[in-house]
Amino acid sequence: DIPYPPEITTSKPLSLLGHGLTDIVIHFLQIKYNAVGIYLEKEIASHLGKWKGKKGAELAEDDLFFDDIVSAPVEKIFRIVVIKEIKGSQYGVQLESAVRDRLAAVDKYEEEEEEALEKVTEFFQTKYFKKDSVITIHFPAATPTAEISFVTEGKGEAKMKVENANVVEMIQKWYLGGSRAVSETTVKSLADN
């Protein structure tokens, strides 16, 4: 029930190409945490030419397809809307753990990555994720950086920039990592679209 505009315009229009949610099932009860919207430049299609003609179900199973989305030099925005209230520190720790594990798996977790991740965790530490709060992660096409912003009712927008390319890549893979992504429904939606 969370509305996502079909397009967001930054320096150019980005289309909503995938949406879903992060959730957990405990004793047959589904707990929804966040709604996720993935916005990409339409030019993404030209970077995914070798996948043309494949069905969404095939693409959803192929992690290499999602690697190509992550590595495509196009602007991306992830819009995450809070459904279930949690402390920002909980989200920060989940993000830190997922990114650290992915970096360690490919032997890219060094001091610089640790420092960059600590800054991200600190950014979320003092936030409280009320229902309908919005986290936006913007990945410009020209630079391997991420701009994270957080907006919640009654407070101004808080922003930070992640400038470590390895950390930026793995934040993208947390949401766009195919079989290892945090939201299976988002991955499937993106593959279908």
The per-residue pLDDT for range 173-189, each reduced to its tens digit, is: 999 999 999 999 999 99
Q: pLDDT-derived band of residue 105, with 50, 70 and 90 as boundaries?
A: very high
Token representation of residue 152:
């919640």
For residue 32, being part of any structural domain is answered with yes
Q: 3-class DSSP state for residue 78?
A: strand
What is the pLDDT averaged over residues 76-102? Answer: 95
For residue 2, being part of any structural domain is answered with no
Domain count, the chain: 1
For residue 25, being part of any structural domain is answered with yes
Range(s) of the domain holding residue 115:
7-192
Q: Are 162 and 148 in contact (CB under 8 A)?
A: yes
For residue 62, being part of any structural domain is answered with yes
**Cα separation values, 69 from 13, 56, 97, 141, 188, Å:** 17, 14, 22, 12, 14
CATH of the domain at 89: 3.50.70.10
For residue 98, being part of any structural domain is answered with yes
For residue 151, being part of any structural domain is answered with yes
What is the pLDDT averaged over residues 114-126? Answer: 96
| pLDDT at 191 > cutoff 80 | yes
Q: 3-class DSSP state for residue 94?
A: helix
For residue 1, being part of any structural domain is answered with no
For residue 136, being part of any structural domain is answered with yes
